[in-house]
Amino acid sequence: MEITAPDTRTALLQAALVCFADYGFDGTSMRMIAEKAGRPLSLLSHYFGNKEGLYLEVFRYIFETSAPQPANPALVLGLDPRDPQGAIRLLREQIHFMYQQAAPDAATAKPLQDHRARLWLQEFRTPRPSLHPIIQQHLSPVADLIRECIRVLRPELNAAQVAFLGATIMGQVAGHGTMSGLNRVLWGEHPPFGSHFQEAELLVDFCLDGLRANPSPPREG
């Protein structure tokens, strides 16, 4: 794959992304990345220090160019715990915003998207500790927004139950992008049934169904 980034640092990051995705961290050498980028090997040390530093910067690049962001983080600070309709509006806005970024056609339009997905899946289950601060930096604001909305809508739930529902909501939306290939294999090559807005509204209804009615807390055991 030809790397055609506009600047040297981005070219090195994109080449590293491709190599790490194709060969894994252990199977990739700095020389391999430099050759893929068509740049001198010495520039990798100049920009990133070592392979571990480069690996972390590749993930920072992935998050900065494709990670979901809070639709309106300032509104969380003013969220009234007695205003469930306000929480529903904010959560609906966040789900729409995330889906705009995660929808299969939107995800496919990103450069090197297949390599992004493969590299992310390598760390998906048990991210290495050095990646934790980067993941928290870029995804915690979204998680915090969703968490606060759930607390307003379901005040009887404990922290673990809130986290479970929040992770479920993020997973439902993100799965349309990260699992788009698997989804096509399992569910077929169906065209979009509507606009991104209509698709996101269906996700909103699905995600909020258990939050609006305030049912009895889950049974233990």
Average pLDDT value over all residues in the chain: 85
Same domain, 26 and 84: no
Same domain, 39 and 14: yes
Read off the pLDDT of residues 45-79 as tens digits, 9 standing for 90 and up.
999 999 999 999 999 999 888 766 665 555 555 67
Q: Residue 65's closest CA among 57, 73, 77? A: 57
Same domain, 108 and 199: yes
**Is 221 within the bounds of a domain?**
no
The CATH number given to whatever domain includes residue 186 is 1.10.357
Conformation bin of residue 220: beta by default, left when phi > 0, alpha when psi is -120 to 50: beta
* 31-46: b (≥16 Cβ within 10 Å) or e: ebbbebbebeeeebee
**Is 218 within the bounds of a domain?**
no
Q: To the nearest whole percent, how much of the chain has pLDDT over 70? A: 84
Same domain, 42 and 77: no
Same domain, 86 and 157: yes
**Is 220 within the bounds of a domain?**
no
Where a domain ends, among 24, 48, 64? Answer: 64
Same domain, 53 and 129: no
Distance CA 218, CA 201 (A): 26
Q: What is the total count of domains within the chain? A: 2
Residue 184: pLDDT band (50, 70, 90) is: confident
**Is 50 within the bounds of a domain?**
yes
**Is 74 within the bounds of a domain?**
yes
Read off the pLDDT of residues 118-128 as tens digits, 9 standing for 90 and up.
898 888 889 99
Domain span at residue 188 reads 67-212
